[in-house]
Structure 1
Amino acid sequence: MPVLRKALVAVVMVLIFSIFLSNLVSVITVDIDQVLENNKFSFKSRRLKDKERGGTDTDTVIIGNSSENLMWFLQVSDIHISIFHDETRVTEFKEFCDITVDAIRPSVVLASGDLTDAKSEDNMGSRQYVKEWMVYKNVLDETKINEKTVWLDIRGNHDNFNVPGIQSARNYYRNYSVQGPAHPKSYLYRLRHNGETYSFIAMDACLDPGPRRPFNFIGVLSAEEISHVKGLAEEASATSDAVIWFGHYPTSCILAPSPGARALIGGPPQSVAYLCGHFHMLGGVVPNMYTIQNDGFLELELADWKDNRIYRLGVMDHGLFSFVDVVHRDWPVVLVTNPKHLLYTLPGREPLERIHTSTHIRVLAFSLAPVEKVQVTLDKEIWQDCVHIEGPLFVANWSPDKFNSGIYEITVFVRDTEGREKVITQPFSLDGSRISFRLLPRIALMCNVSVVFQFLFGVSLVICIVPLCAAKILHVLVKARRMRKPTWNAWCLRIWVQKLWVLSTVDRIFYPLVIYPLYLTVVGPWSVGEVIEGYTGVIFAWGIFINKSYLPGSFTYAYGFLQMCSFQLPLTLFLAHYLERRLYHKVTNKSCTIMHTFLHHFPFAVIVTLQMMFAYFFWLAYGTMAFLLGPLRTWSVILALILWCLAVKLPDNCLREAASVWNIRNLHSGVGEISAT
C-alpha cells in the first residue's frame, strides 16, 4: 500500500506539472504556419489596395542603391523625469533631444509613456508634480524639437498616477505634452515620405480614473476606447503602406474585451510592429524583450531611459522593418536593412521576396562626425567597401543567389572621421529558415500577466487553506473511527503533517486562519481610503471602486499573492509548529529554556515586523483612512497578535484532541510508525 500511495502521488504531481507546462508552452509558442496564413491574407489585401490605388498586382520594387522608399524614426520610453532623483536623466535627455536627434534626423520620435516619475521623495507616495511636467516641456522647447522632427508622445502609468479623470486639472499630460492638447488618449499620425505613407497609431491603455501606485500596473482598454482605436486602425489601413503601433503597456499587461489587444493590433494588413516600454527589462533580468505574436506582428519592448539610457532606431526600407536598440552616447549607430535580420522577419506580412531580387546590401550609419568608412563581409569572407549614397545610407553590390540555402551572417564595420568605430554582426536567410526568440522575453510578452497574477494568488490561497482543512477532515474521520490514521515514511512530511493536524484541532485558531483569507478573497474589501487624492475608493481582490468607476482586478492579485506568501503562510506554519511543540513538551514533561522560548517566538516577531512595515508603506501611499480601514495590512497585524496570544495562553485541555490521536514521543524520536495513544 505505501508503494501504491507513493506511485499515485507521483503520477498526480507529474500530471499537474505536465498540464501547467503544456499550457505555458501553448501560450509562448509561435505558430509560424498560422502566422503565415494570417499574413498571406494580409499581404494579399495590401496588394489589392495597391492595385485599387493605381498600382499593379505584381511586385516590381527592386531594393537597389536608391534612397527612396526609406524612412527612419526614433523611440524613447520610460524617461521618468523626477524633481527628486537623478538629475542626469534630464540633462542626458536634453542631450538626446539636442545632439542625438540632430545627428540622426528622424522623421518621427516616439515617446512611449512614463514621461514623468510622479513619485514622492521617499518613493512611497505617488502623485502628479507639475514641476516635472514643466521640465519635460522646457527640454522639448529649449531644444526646439518640433522644428527638427515630429514628436509623438503618449501617457504611461506613471503619467496617470493620482489622476481622477481625463478632463481633470491634475492630468498635466493635456497641458505639457506635445500631443496631449489635441489627443488626450489614442490617436493616429500619418507621415507622407518619399512617396509612401506610414501610419503611427498611439494606443493609450491607461486606467480611467488613474489610482495611485501600485494598482495601475496593468492597463485597460475600455469598450469605448477599443471602438475608437478600431476606427483609427481602419483609417490607417485604407491609406498606408505600413502601420506602426506604439504604447506604454506591453500587450501582456493590457486587459481588453475579446478578441483582445493583440487581435486589434494585428488587424490592419500593414501592421508590422507594436513598440512599448513599461517593463524596464524586468530589473535587468530580461534584456532585449522581443517576440513575434501569433497575430502576425512584432512586439518590441524598449528598455528604459530612466536607468539604462536606451533608445531605439527603427527603419522602414522598401517595406521591410528593421530596428536596433542603442545606448545613449554609443556612436556610431549602425543598422543593416538589407538583408534583414533573420529573427525579426515577418513572413507574409513583409515583402521578403524583395530581398531575393535585391541588388545591394544596405547599411544605415549615423555618427557625431562624418562617417568615412563602411565595410561589409558575408560569412567572414573578403571585406567589401560600401559606397555612400545619401545621408546615412551606404550600399554594396551583392548576389543573393549565392545565399539561397541556409543561415548566414553579415558583419559590418563602421568608422567616423574622429576615430569612433563599431562592428555589428547579424544573421540572415533567404530560404525561410527561422531562429527562435529567447524564452524569457516570450513569456513576458506573450502571456497574460493578469491571469498569471490570478493563478499565483489562487495557488497561494489553496496552499494556505486546503492542507489545514484536509487535516481537520481527517481528524474528524479518525476520531469517529471511520478510517485509520494515515502513515508516511518520509520523516519531514510526517512531522509537518502532524504540526498542521495539531493546529486543525484547535478551533479558536483554526477558523480565523481559514476564514481570514476567504474573507479577503470573496467577501470583504482589502482597504477603504483615498485611492486617488480627494476620492475615497474601495479595494477588493477582484477590482477597485473609485470616483463612480470600476477598475477590474489585476495587480490586486499580485498584491494578494505577496500577502499570502509574506504573512498568511508563515503565520500558519509558525502557529502549527508552536502548538505542536507545546503538545510535545506537555506529553514528555520536558521543560523549555529561555533560549528555546526566544527561538520559538522569534519567527513570529519577524512575521509581525514585516507586516507592520507593509502597513506603514500602505499608510505612506494611501493615507490614514486606508491605514485604519485596512483589513489586508493593518488588521492582519492585529489578527496575528490575537492568534499569538491565544496560542501562548491556550489551556492544556485544548490539546487533548491532538494528543488522543498522536504519539508525540514516538514521532519525535523517529521510532516506528505513528500510532494512536
Structure 2
Amino acid sequence: MANLPGYSEEDKGHGKNQVARYQRKSWKYSAVRRDGSFHYVHSTPFGNYSFISLDATVNPGPKRPFNFFGILDQKQMEDLSLLAKESSRSNHSIWFGHFTTSTILSPSPGIRSIMSSATAYLCGHLHTLGGLMPVLHTRHFQGTLELEVGDWKDNRRYRIFAFDHDLFSFADLIFGEWPVVLITNPKSLLYSSAKHEPLERLLHSTHISGCAISHSHQQCTRVLVFSLSSITSVAVKIDGVHLGQASHLSGPIFILKWNPRNYSNRTHNIEVIVQDSAGRSKSVHHIFSAREDIHLRFDPLASFILLTDHCTVARVLFVMIVLIQLIILIAFRYRAYPEHKGPPGFVNLTSFSLHVLSKISIFYYSMLLLTLYTVLGPWFVGEITKGKLGCCFSFGIFVDGHFLQGSVTFIVGILQLVFFNIPLMVYLCWSLLQRCFGHSFKSHLHQGKYLKIVPVHLLMLLLYIWQIYSCYFLHMTYGTLALLFSPLRTWLTLVTPVLIRCVWTLNSAELGTFIVQLKSHLSS
C-alpha cells in the first residue's frame, strides 16, 4: 500500500498539484480508491479491523531532493487523532503510509503518539536504503511496530500479513519467488506485543498453522502457504526436531497439532519447509516463546534509522557547524597574535593561518559573508514545483504563496558547509601560510614536497568539481532560471577561483607583518 505502482517517489515529487493524474494510475490497484488520510474498516464475523491511511505528502510538493520529508500540519494531526479514536472499537488497527515516521515533520505530540493504539505502521520510502538495510523494522516506545518494506517499482517487494486469533504476523517477499510461506501460530517473538495482542492464546493452541478464520482450530500450529503449483509437503520442525507434516485445512491454510506447554520454558525456533509439485521449495523460520516476559531486541541501526527525528538532528548539526565556523572567524579576528612556544607544530601553524585569514579583510569578510549567506540568504530562485516559481532558503521554501518549513534544506546546508565552504576556508588558510613562508604559487610547487602539496590541491579541485556538479544538478532539476539566480551554487562557483587567485597574487607588503611573526616564531 505504501508503494503502489504509479505512485513512486518521482510522482510524489510533483506534489498534490499533480495528484489527480497519478491517482488514476494508483487507483487501478486500489480497493478503496481514496486520496489522503482515511479510515477503512474490514468487518468479519469475529470482529472489525481498522486500516488508517497516513498521507504526509507536502502540499505543494517540491521536486527532489526537497520532497524527502513528509509534513503534517495541526489540522491533519487533529483529523488523524479522530481516525485513531474511531478505530478504538476495532479488534486491531493498522496504519499505513509512504513515509517512515522518522521522515515526517509533525507538531506536538507527534505522529507516533497519535498512532500509539495501532498494532503496526506499514511504510516504505527508504527502499531498504538501496539494499544496505534489507530489514528496516522496529518498535515505537509506545509499542507500535514500524515495518518498512522495499519498493515495488524497481525491486518488486511486497508484504502479506494476517491476523490469527488476533495475533499479527507478516512476511516481506519478492514477487515471483514461490512458494510463499507465513507462519501465523506460533508467531514470531520479535514482533509480539502484549499491549496490542492476546499473547496468552498461544498457550491454549494445539495446532501449528498459517491462519485461523474460526476459533475451532485455535489449538494448532498454522501456516499460510501460496504457490502457482499444488503444495506437496509442509514439514514442521521445532528446535531442529521434526514435528510432522502439516495437513491442508482450506485455501492456503495448513495446520499441525502440537502442545505449546512443551515449549513454555524459554525461546524456541520453528522452521517450516514447503515444497510444491513444480519442485520448488521454501524454508522459513523464526524464534517464538510462550512466555510474555521474554523479549527480543530489534537491530539497533534499524531502530536508529526509524526512530530518530532526522530533521531535528539535521537542524542542530547545521546550527552547530555554522556557529563553530563563525566563532572561529570572529575570535581570531579580534584576538591578538599569541606568543607560541615550542616547535611550530600542526596546531600552532593552523592557529597562525587562521590568524592571518581573519586579519586580512578581503578573506575575513568573504568567509563571514559566505557563512551568513548560507544561513540567511536565498540559495536559488527556480521552478520548485511544475510551473510554479519559488525561492529556497536554509530554513524553508517559499512557493506559490506557501511556506514549506525546512527539512532536507538543512541536510543540503550541512553538505554545502562540510564539502565546500569549510574546505575552501581551510584551503585559503593553507595557501596564506605558504605565502607567509615566502612562496609564490610557482615556487611553492618546486619545494620538493610533492606528497604534501599536490594532494591538497587535488582535494580542493575535487570539491570544486563537486560544486560545479551541484550547479548542473540545479539546472537539470529546477531549470535555467535556478542556475542563473543561485548565489550559493553558480555565483560561488564563479567567485571561488577569483578568491584563490587573490591569495597567490596578494602584495607581499600586506603579508609583511605576518611573515615577520612567522619567522620570529620559527627562529625561537
Change (3 A) 1:425 1:490: farther
Alpha-carbon displacement from aligned partner over 1:232-272 (angstroms, at most 9, x marks no partner): 2222223x211111000000000111111101111x3xx21
Whole-angstrom CA distance in 2 between matches of 1:470 and 1:347: 57
What's 2:507 paired with? 651
Q: Offset at 1:596?
A: 8.0
Q: Offset at 1:471?
A: 3.1
Q: Offset at 1:346?
A: 0.8
Q: Offset at 1:570?
A: 1.5
1:514 partnered with 2:368 = yes
What's 1:235 paired with? 86
Q: Offset at 1:540?
A: 0.9
Q: Identity over aligned residues, as a percent?
A: 35
Partner residue of 1:626 out of 482, 487, 493: 482
Change (3 A) 1:488 1:637: farther
Q: Offset at 1:182?
A: 5.6
What's 2:134 paired with? 287
Alpha-carbon displacement from aligned partner over 1:309-330 (angstroms, at most 9, x marks no partner): 2211111111111111112222
Partner residue of 1:439 out of 290, 300, 303: 300
Partner residue of 1:370 out of 222, 227, 230: 230
What's 2:102 paired with? 252
Partner residue of 1:176 out of 25, 32, 35: 25
1:468 partnered with 2:324 = no
Whole-angstrom CA distance in 2 between matches of 1:377 and 1:226: 46
Partner residue of 2:402 out of 540, 546, 549: 549
What's 2:72 paired with? 221
What's 2:271 paired with? 411
Whole-angstrom CA distance in 2 between matches of 1:194 and 1:374: 29
Aligned 8 A contact 2:5 2:152 in 1: no
Q: Offset at 1:464?
A: 3.8
Partner SS, residue 362 of structure 1:
strand
What's 2:392 paired with? 539
Q: Offset at 1:456?
A: 3.3
Whole-angstrom CA distance in 1 between matches of 2:235 and 2:84: 40
Whole-angstrom CA distance in 2 between matches of 1:648 and 1:486: 26
Q: CA RMSD in A?
A: 2.6
Aligned 8 A contact 2:70 2:105 in 1: yes
Whole-angstrom CA distance in 2 between matches of 1:644 and 1:289: 46
Change (3 A) 1:296 1:655: same
Q: Offset at 1:653?
A: 2.1
Aligned 8 A contact 2:370 2:421 in 1: no
1:504 partnered with 2:354 = no
Whole-angstrom CA distance in 2 between matches of 1:569 and 1:488: 28
Whole-angstrom CA distance in 2 between matches of 1:581 and 1:439: 47
What's 1:112 paired with? 2
What's 1:525 paired with? 378
Change (3 A) 1:462 1:445: same
Aligned 8 A contact 2:434 2:444 in 1: no
Alpha-carbon displacement from aligned partner over 1:157-202 (angstroms, at most 9, x marks no partner): 5323234xx4x46641343332699622111221123432111111
What's 2:145 paired with? 298
Partner residue of 1:638 out of 491, 494, 497: 494
Partner residue of 2:465 out of 606, 609, 614: 609
TM, length-normalised to structure 1: 0.70
Alpha-carbon displacement from aligned partner over 1:572-598 (angstroms, at most 9, x marks no partner): 1111111101111259x9775399899
Aligned 8 A contact 2:3 2:153 in 1: no
1:115-134 paired onto structure 2 within 5 Å: 115-116=5-6
Partner SS, residue 419 of structure 1:
coil
What's 1:88 paired with? none
Could you tell me which amino acid in structure 1 is paired with residue 374 of structure 2?
L
Whole-angstrom CA distance in 2 between matches of 1:184 and 1:489: 69
Whole-angstrom CA distance in 2 between matches of 1:591 and 1:234: 72
Partner SS, residue 342 of structure 1:
coil
Could you tell me which amino acid in structure 1 is paired with residue 496 of structure 2?
A
Aligned 8 A contact 1:196 1:241 in 2: yes
Q: Offset at 1:547?
A: 0.9
Aligned 8 A contact 2:329 2:358 in 1: yes
Whole-angstrom CA distance in 2 between matches of 1:258 and 1:465: 32
Partner SS, residue 395 of structure 1:
strand
Aligned 8 A contact 2:13 2:63 in 1: yes
Q: Offset at 1:602?
A: 4.7
Could you tell me which amino acid in structure 2 is paired with residue 282 of structure 1?
L
Change (3 A) 1:169 1:283: closer
Change (3 A) 1:388 1:212: same
Q: Offset at 1:397?
A: 1.4
Alpha-carbon displacement from aligned partner over 1:37-87 (angstroms, at most 9, x marks no partner): xxxxxxxxxxxxxxxxxxxxxxxxxxxxxxxxxxxxxxxxxxxxxxxxxxx
Whole-angstrom CA distance in 2 between matches of 1:553 and 1:115: 29
Whole-angstrom CA distance in 2 between matches of 1:372 and 1:453: 54
Q: How many aligned residue pairs are there?
A: 504
5+ residue gaps, structure 2, are: 208-220
Could you tell me which amino acid in structure 2 is paired with residue 204 of structure 1?
D
Moved over 6 A (4+): 594-598
Partner residue of 2:44 out of 186, 193, 198: 193
Partner SS, residue 190 of structure 2:
helix
What's 2:316 paired with? 455
1:337 partnered with 2:187 = no
Alpha-carbon displacement from aligned partner over 1:1-55 (angstroms, at most 9, x marks no partner): xxxxxxxxxxxxxxxxxxxxxxxxxxxxxxxxxxxxxxxxxxxxxxxxxxxxxxx
Change (3 A) 1:490 1:174: same
Change (3 A) 1:298 1:210: same
5+ residue gaps, structure 1, are: 1-110, 117-154, 479-483, 667-673
Change (3 A) 1:607 1:544: same
What's 2:336 paired with? 477
Could you tell me which amino acid in structure 1 is paired with residue 328 of structure 2?
P
Aligned 8 A contact 1:114 1:248 in 2: no
Whole-angstrom CA distance in 2 between matches of 1:583 and 1:379: 73
Whole-angstrom CA distance in 2 between matches of 1:344 and 1:576: 55
Alpha-carbon displacement from aligned partner over 1:388-435 (angstroms, at most 9, x marks no partner): 111111111111212222111111111112221112221011222111
Whole-angstrom CA distance in 1 between matches of 2:186 and 2:385: 51
Whole-angstrom CA distance in 1 between matches of 2:297 and 2:285: 17
Q: Offset at 1:641?
A: 2.4
What's 1:23 paired with? none
Q: Offset at 1:603?
A: 4.5
Q: Offset at 1:297?
A: 0.7
What's 1:161 paired with? 13
Change (3 A) 1:638 1:236: same
TM, length-normalised to structure 2: 0.90
Whole-angstrom CA distance in 2 between matches of 1:565 and 1:493: 20
What's 1:57 paired with? none
Aligned 8 A contact 2:204 2:260 in 1: yes
* Greater relative contact order, per chain length (Cα 8 Å cut-off, separation 6+): 1
Whole-angstrom CA distance in 1 between matches of 2:18 and 2:82: 28
Whole-angstrom CA distance in 2 between matches of 1:490 and 1:580: 12
Could you tell me which amino acid in structure 1 is paired with residue 237 of structure 2?
T
Aligned 8 A contact 1:584 1:665 in 2: no
Partner residue of 2:60 out of 204, 209, 222: 209
Could you tell me which amino acid in structure 1 is paired with residue 21 of structure 2?
Y
Whole-angstrom CA distance in 2 between matches of 1:490 and 1:331: 69
Q: Offset at 1:551?
A: 0.5
Q: Offset at 1:494?
A: 3.2
Alpha-carbon displacement from aligned partner over 1:266-315 (angstroms, at most 9, x marks no partner): 1x3xx210000000111222121000101211000001223332211111
Whole-angstrom CA distance in 2 between matches of 1:156 and 1:204: 14
